[in-house]
Amino acid sequence: MGRLSGKVALVTGAAQGIGATYALALAREGAKVSISDIAAPEATRAAIEAEGGTTLALAADVTDPASVEAMVRETVDAFGSADILVNNAALFGNLTLKPFWEMSGAEWDKVMAVNVRGVFECAKAVLPHMRASGYGKIVNVASGTVFKGSPLMLHYVTSKGAVVALTRALAREVGGFGIRVNCIAPGLTMSANVKANADWAGEIVAANIASRALKREAEPEDLIGTLLFLCSADSDFMTGQTVVVDGGSVMH
């Protein structure tokens, strides 16, 4: 019996990288996992099922309320509840580092729509189900860049700062319903998208590692322990918090 046996978890942005790692970890702890991405994450579904897990792979656009509502509805129809939401979907790995004056308004709006409004839409869609059961865990994903003021990605850093603020305010609004809302803030994590982006290589990665108390690259698996803590009953008296998991680059 895992810590999440009998629970139903939804993970957005689960097609690869950190999202896929989150989904597999939740399944290993006994949760039934509904995984979504712009295209249904079939590779992640296959990986979970290969280990005997129970999962549902769905296509969902977190910026589209109707799409998000359909994702939640299909999950509840299939598994009976929506106990855990991991708001992982975000634009990052494919972004190009650039000074803010070279960013277009359209690029800014796209990052905000996915990284901030997507969190809002998903939380709004699961609320009725969590409220009905009197219990729920919402885990948002911010970034250590919020506490550093990292340059050359103003839209991304701003969006993740908004996620921290959203986490705090949302926790106040839904605590009376038994819903906990917390946030993970990873450091630079070597996911597949990050490794494939030439901007995230060489001196930038080396400088990031040098800023850490623990001098190594971060891998998606480094985030699992914190994720499972925030999704399980172990953190039932904790809400509105942001936990930085970056090897000690940021300490706050």
- List b or e across 168-193, with b for residues whose CB sees 16 or more CB atoms inside 10 angstroms: eebbeebeeeebbbbbbbbbbbbbeb
Dist. CA 138–CA 116, nearest whole Å: 14
Query: What is the four-CA torsion angle of 48, 244, 12, 22, rounded to 10 degrees?
Result: 0
Dist. CA 74–CA 162, nearest whole Å: 29
Give the relative orientation of helices 118-133 and 65-79 as an angle to the nearest 10 degrees: 30
Following DSSP, what letter does each residue of 69-123 receive, concatenated? HHHHHHHHHHHS---EEEE-----TTPPP--GGG--HHHHHHHHIIIIIHHHHHH
**Is the four-CA dihedral 156, 159, 161, 164 of positive or negative sign?**
negative
**For the chain, how many helices (H) and strands (E)?**
10, 7
Cα–Cα separations (whole angstroms), residue 109 to 17, 59, 113, 142: 24, 22, 6, 18
Q: 135 catalytic, yes or no?
A: no
The tokens describing 167, both together, are 């986490």
Query: CA end-to-end span of the chain, whole Å?
Result: 35
Candidate list 22, 79, 92, 156, residue with the active-site label: 156
- Helix H or strand E segment including 227: helix 224-231
The residues annotated as belonging to the active site are 156
